[in-house]
Each structure stands twice: as C-alpha cells, then as structure tokens.
Structure 1
Amino acid sequence: MAIVLAVPARALEPPTATAWPDTLAGRLAALALVQTLNSELLSHPSATLTLDRWCADHRLAPAGTKIVADRVKDVDKPADTAVREALQVGPREKVAYRRVRLRCGERVLSEADNWYVPALLTAEMNAVLDTTDTPFGRVVQPLSTRRRTLSAEVLWQPLPRGWEMGAALPPASDGPLVPPPHVLQHRAVLALPDGRPLSALVETYTGGVLGFPWFEGR
C-alpha cells in the first residue's frame, strides 16, 4: 500500500531572495560569514583561490566566473623599511609594487597592496604581472608558495562586543543591513618552499563579500 505524506504548501515553495534584514538574525548571519571568510583565508595559502571558491559558493557572479585583478595604475608605494625587512632584502634590491582590486564579476571583493621580489620569479611570470591583470596568486601558483599571516583584523562587528553576555543589541530597523566598505584586513607574507619571502601583502576585504541575497523561508 502506498503511503502519501502530506507536506504543507509553504514547504514546497522556494525561498524568496530579499535584501539582508537589519535584525538580530541578519546580523548573526553576517557575523558568522565574516568569521567564516576570515578562517578560510587564514587556513589556505592563496587568497585569490579562496575568493574563487567564495565567489562560486555564494553565486556572486555567473557560474564559472574566476577572480580578476583590476590593476590600479599610476600608483606607486616604494617598499619601506618594514616591507624590506619582511621580504628579507637589502635597500638596493629591486622590489616591485602592484595594487589591485580583486573582482568577482562586477563585485570588488578585495583591495590589495603587493610588494614582491622580481628576482625570485621567472621572466614569464614577471612579464604577466607587468602587462596583464592576472591575480598574483594565480601567476605564482606553480611555485607552491606558503602563506604566513602577520595579522588578521576584523574591521566590522555586526554585533557589539559582549552581545552573547547580554550587552545591548542594536535596535532592528525596517531598512536593509548594509555592510561597510571594508570588513576584514590581512597582512601576510608569501614564501617559497625553501622559506625565502617572495611577497608582502596588505589585503582589505570589502562588504562585497556579503553581496548575495538573503533567503526568506529557509
């Protein structure tokens, strides 16, 4: 005998995509996702490849979209003493500079300052970095670099410190929850397998990492 289960009509309806609500639930979700991204970045050697996965998992662009590095041209930040110390190079050794915005489709997810030692790269890699917008992490992937994080700072706290212990919560509003321009910042060094530093990075992650809709009814 066939058994027919009665399923409420609402359960058959697909979730409805809306703007993120400025409520406790919306802020909790934002907090969890920022911390998740932070953890993913800390536990993987390439920020570019991590953002590739984040872009795909959260459907921030059409399927198959890869992170693109839009170079910010006509900007130069000579390597200061701190950068040269991190790269373990002397005052006369050449250090190149690249500033990029890492973009998933039309959405900028990260702004990065990158100082690197051209002498540790192949001529082909240097040419690609000089003449294209290919992300640094994708260019140097064949070198099997290792990432060492110097600092990781959460720039946005959707809930106040001590919220879990009864601190006053922001009042809910009728408007959407809008992340600030920047939500995370990492400082890191990429090194070759033998330990030689290759690149010093300052990466600032934007509110665009939460640029996917809120799904009601989930």
Structure 2
Amino acid sequence: MSEKLMEGNGKAFLVLLLPISFLIIFLVSTWKALLVLILLALGFNLWQQYRWQKWCQQVNPIFHQLIRENQGQITPMDLAIKGSFSGSVAKRYLDSKAAEFGASLRNSEEGGEVYYFITASILGNILDSSEPVKKLPAQPVTKTARSLLEPPPQQPVKEETEPELVTPATHTEAQRSLEQQLVFGSLIQSELAKRLNVYSSTVYKRRNDPEFPEWSRSKDPDGIAWTFSEKNKEFFPLEEEGKN
C-alpha cells in the first residue's frame, strides 16, 4: 500500500511539475518581449494622464466661471454645454474636481445630479443667515409704521357695558404681522427667507432675477411680490412701493 501511495504522489508531482516547467521556459524565452509590452502599457498610461491634465487646464476657466455664476452649483449638462464636449467627459471632470475640493453631490428636483462646491461667498451667506437679525439703519418712517406707532384713539365710555363679541382671526389680523415686520418699510435677506420658507442662499441667488417678484409672490403666504434694492441691499414689497 505504501509503494502504491508513493507512486501516486510521484505522478501527481509530475503532473504539477510539467506546467510549471513549461511556464518557466516560456518566461525565459519571452521575457524581453513581455518587458517591452509592460513598458509600452506604462508609457501609454502616463501619456493618457498627461493629456487629461492638459485638457483639464483648458477647462478650468470655464469651470470657475460657472461656479461663480451659479453660486457653487453645477451639473454635468451645464459644463458640457458651456465647453462643447460630451456629458461623460464632463461628469469625469466634475468627479475629479469633487474629489479635489471635497464637493457634495445632491439630487435636484428635476432628478439630475448637482455638484455643490462651497466658496467663500457662499459660506459667508450661510453664516449671515445663521447670525441673529442685525439692527437696521435709521430710515424714514412709512405711513404704515406711523399708524402702528401712534396710540389708538380713545373710545367714549359707554354708560351701559355690553359683552364684547369674540370674532375669529381674519386676514387683517394676519396682515398685522407683516406690518410689524415692515416697521422700516423693508426686510433683510434672512427675514425674507424665513417668510418665504426657503434658504437664505436661495433668496441671494434669485434676488437679481427679473422673475424674482413673481417667484416671491408664489412663495409668500399673503401673495405679496417682493423686489430687491441694490442701493439699500434690502427687499421691498411692490405694493408698498406703489403706495409710496
């Protein structure tokens, strides 16, 4: 039994030894050709990386321009249209930039992917929206504010007291909250963002848009359209401007 076992182990060893020997002979006879192929593959890979870096340097100005115009938000479609190249190349470029600058990837309302790069101006807007409401500079008191500051006229005392009827809150009472906010006739960015129930950065991005009044009207709980004043850096209701 031991001789048969040794004979079987010897045959198994020969079966393994033959392929190994053929592989060694193949490597010895073709190592030069294999080395050339490996060097060619490495050289081609380095050449591809060099071409990609040179191409990225040409696209960087377009990328920086879109980041400034869109407040840090950019999609592969935006970059592809601006640079006139394919969407797959634009996505590869944005993926490399997102890894370089630590950008976040978000899903837009339309279902696409949006790359969000945090810049110094955007970070400042976020910090401004998180700070307490700053004191407003002194401005002329509007008619609405003057009516709020004046004491109500005294009512003549009736001889017979009658029970007062408690009426439910009406739209006029709801409007008083807006009038109290508009003591100086305007709202700052963080106040308007809270009223419209949006982010402060969203108001900042849309404030110079010609369609901003209609957009703010659709978001405002009282259906009021707002406009931005570049001079005062504040937001005014269009109805108030018409009155003044």
TM-score range, shorter chain: under 0.3
TM-score by length of structure 2 reads 0.22
| Larger of the two Rg values belongs to structure | 2
TM-score by length of structure 1 reads 0.24
Asked which structure has the greater RCO (Cα within 8 Å, sep 6+), the reply is: 1
Q: By percentage of residues, which structure has more strand?
A: 1
